[in-house]
Amino acid sequence: MDYKSPAIIDLPKLTDPRGNLTVVEGHQLLPFDINRVYYLYDVPAGEERGGHSHKQCYEFLIAISGSFDVTLDDGTAKRTVTLNRPYKGLLIVPGIWRTLENFSHGSVCLVIASDHYDEDDYVRNYDEFVALKAREGKQATTV
């Protein structure tokens, strides 16, 4: 798998009459060790989350419950992905701006990250993000 671009990754779904089970393991399905896990929930209607990019950190998003949209932006092109299955996740590579929106009632977004929280790894201003991508002189990542 090409880990230079965002990608939907199918997770193993172990079906059982008592309830299904899905496992996520670093370096099995993901190209990184898992160093941080957090989740978003109770997002009010009409609110957005994300609105940033990472310089080094990879993130893997899963709609554990409900659904939401993720808009991916590499500085030149955008695409929107809807996450609504707990056995499919979205790998977001460094250098991609992401915005999460259209959260359904009761939705939960699980985020698995390659790195511990580091404010210096974030690009939170969109104009700065576009300028950074232009300085790189190439779009190493594509949406």
Please report whether residue 118 resides in a domain. yes
Q: In sequence order, what are the residues at sequence separation of 6 or more whose Cβ sits closer than 8 angstroms to the Cβ of residue 3?
A: 31, 58, 91, 93
**C-alpha torsion 110→115→118→122, nearest 10:** -70
Tens of pLDDT, residue by residue over 94-105, are 999 999 999 999
Mean pLDDT of the chain: 93
Considering the entire predicted model, what is its pTM? 0.91
Give Cα 39 to chain centroid, integer Å: 11
Task: Count structural domains, the chain.
Answer: 1
Give the pLDDT score at 136: 85
Please report whether residue 142 resides in a domain. no
What CATH number is given to the structural domain containing 91?
2.60.120.10
Give the pLDDT score at 140: 55
Domain range for residue 76? 7-136
116 catalytic, yes or no? Answer: no
- CA 24-84-4 angle, to 5 degrees, is 55
- Three-state SS string across the chain, please? CCCCCCEEEECCEECCCCCCEECCCECCCECCCCCEEEEEECCCCCCCEEEEEECCCCEEEEEEECCEEEEEECCCCEEEEEECCCCEEEEECCCCEEEEECCCCCCEEEEEECCCCCHHHEECCHHHHHHHHHHHCCCCCCC
Give the pLDDT score at 141: 58
Give the pLDDT score at 138: 56
Give the chain's residues under pLDDT 70: 1-2, 138-143
Give the pLDDT score at 1: 56
Task: Check 27, 52, 105, 116 and give the catalytic one.
Answer: 52
